[in-house]
Amino acid sequence: MVQKIGILGGTFNPPHLGHLIMANEVKEQLDLDKIWFLPNQLPPHKEEENLASAQQRLEMLQGATANNPFFAIDERELHRSGKSYTYDTIKAWKAESPESELYFIIGGDMVEFLPKWYKIDELIKFVHFVGVNRRGHHRKSPYPVIKIDIPVIEISSTIIRDKVKQNSSIQYLVPDNVANYIKENHLYD
């Protein structure tokens, strides 16, 4: 039986309710069997001294997804050294699960950049792209993209990190266990 798998990549620094809502909406609207969260290494241009480590981001993501049996985490990109390209990850995934139908979830802002993705012409042979609406972006691309509209929630990891730094509440922006983890581990202070 063919499994329909959604994949949501990101740094998840930290994971927030916007990520979970996006994943759940895509799962429901496309009738997917499972959503895999794919945390990646922080790109060199994003490294700052107060950002969470790969292990901390993984632990927060585990807490955020624990209560949904349709959510899972794939750690492969966290353990890869050097540059990590979506093409390499998806090619490996298809080799492991050739019968799976893969849906790679991206925000509307990323749809516009698909022509610049590494080996995009090969990648589209392995995966369906799902473009989720994002304010100010039209999701236009020369590549096929399934367009999904979800409730627009203006939450970002940057906003959450800034709020923590300012000692402001992040309640209702992240799951409670993620908020507790951030506080207990003094992340983003």
- Domain membership of residue 174 (yes or no) is no
Q: Is residue 181 part of a domain?
A: no
Domain assignment present for 9: yes
Q: Is residue 185 part of a domain?
A: no
Domain, as residue range, for 24: 4-156
**Domain annotation covers residue 88:** yes
**Number of domains comprising the chain:** 1
| 3-class secondary structure per residue, the chain | CCCEEEEEEECCCCCCHHHHHHHHHHHHHHCCCEEEEEECCCCHHHCCCCCCCHHHHHHHHHHHHCCCCCEEECCHHHHCCCCCCHHHHHHHHHHHCCCCEEEEEEEHHHHCCHHHCCCHHHHCCCEEEEEECCCCCCCCCCCCEEEECCCCCCCCHHHHHHHHHCCCCCECCECHHHHHHHHHCCCCC
Q: pLDDT for 122-174, tens place per residue? A: 999 999 999 998 766 677 889 999 999 998 888 999 999 999 999 999 999 99
**pLDDT (tens digit per residue) in 60-106:** 999 999 999 999 999 999 998 878 889 999 999 999 999 999 999 99
pTM exceeds 0.85 for this model: yes
Please report whether residue 22 resides in a domain: yes
